[in-house]
Structure 1
Amino acid sequence: MNDSTVTTGKPVSRSTRQKRAVEAAMSASDDFRTAQEIHEALRRDGESVGLATVYRALQTLADQGQVDVLKTDGGEAVYRSCSRSHHHHLVCRRCGRTVEIEGPAVERWASAQAREHGYADVSHTVELFGTCPACQADAAGD
């Protein structure tokens, strides 16, 4: 084994300048953003980083649990820095504003379903999409 692997055989993530730039861009926003939007913001800030590098950094951050990933209605992956605790998201379809939410009823239901069917080590993802109050007000003013 060389220095780039650990006992799991997976490559060790090196903290490169580009990865740190992606991390900083992620922490600068509260909303979900596409890799292309993150890449564009980095380029505007003078960072020399390729789109493929942004995708790799985001995948590494997702694998490490540092960012959440969800699929939009159109199937596109979007990314957001989130808290480390288990949570769900309420996302505005129009502007992307995102709120982390708890779902105790969902947690109880998921555990009950797993027990009933004899499953263990169950995980789940629940995302809610709607229109935030600001976008509702904008739409009413149109």
Structure 2
Amino acid sequence: MQRSTRQRIAIAGAFASTHRPLSPQEVLEVAGKAIPALGIATVYRHLRDMTESGELQAVHLPGLNPMYELATHEHHHHFQCSSCQRVFDIHECPGELSGLAPRGFSVHSHALTLYGECSDCRSLARKAKAKAAEAPPKPRKG
């Protein structure tokens, strides 16, 4: 069992407060609010230790460096926002997908990632669109 240090508690708190997979940089940003002197090397060291001890698990998505989430999660899938790149949990599974495998293949597990825009980014886009519609037209040069 690892020692409970202020840094480790702040890092665990980052996952508990966000309820989603986090990149090391996101962990630094969230945990750094509690411990401003927290450094990225300390975050990486604790992520490694917490993964090895089974507290965290790595989340591997195509084109991204590993992210991390609490290991208490049951089988689930992920949603990645194409605008802000944040990753969120999807707590439902479409079920047995082995019928999609090519003939003769044996499926051992599956992972599914949905891509789109999160509610925060959609809201920002709507606000920006509304603000642009309210703005008077710019005068033409020439």
Question: 1:53, 1:88 → 2: CA distance?
Answer: 28
Unpaired stretches in structure 1, ≥5 consecutive residues: 1-12
Q: Partner of 2:60: helix, strand, or coil?
A: strand
The equivalent residue for 2:30 is 41
Q: Could you tell me how far 1:88 is from its partner in structure 2?
A: 0.4
For structure 2, the residue ranges without an aligned partner over 5 or more in a row are 129-142
Q: 1:103 aligns to what?
A: 93
Larger radius of gyration: 2
**Residue of structure 1 in register with 2:132 after alignment:** none
Length-normalised TM-score, structure 2: 0.63
Alignment of 1:1-142 (within 5 A): 13-17=1-5, 18-46=7-35, 48-63=37-52, 64=54, 66-71=56-61, 73=63, 75-81=64-70, 83-95=72-84, 96=86, 98-104=88-94, 107-110=95-98, 113=101, 116-118=104-106, 122-142=108-128
Q: Which amino acid aligns with 1:108?
A: E
Q: Give the count of matched residue pairs.
A: 125
Cα deviation 1:109-138 (Å, max 9, x = unaligned):
23774994356xx23322212112442243
TM-score (norm 1): 0.63
> Deviation at 1:72?
6.5
Note if contact 1:66-1:84 (Cα within 8 Å) is conserved in structure 2. no
SS of the counterpart of 1:91?
A: strand
RMSD between aligned residues: 3.3
What percent of counterpart residues are identical?
Answer: 25
CA–CA separation in structure 1 for the residues paired with 2:122 and 2:106 = 44
Q: 1:83 to 1:59 in 2, by over 3 A?
A: same
CA shift, 1:85, in A, is: 0.8
Task: Give the direction of change, closer, same or farther, for the CA distance of 1:62–1:130 in structure 2 (3 Å limit).
Answer: farther
Per-residue Cα deviation, 1:82-118 (whole angstroms, up to 9, x for no partner): 65210101232224262423223xx412377499435
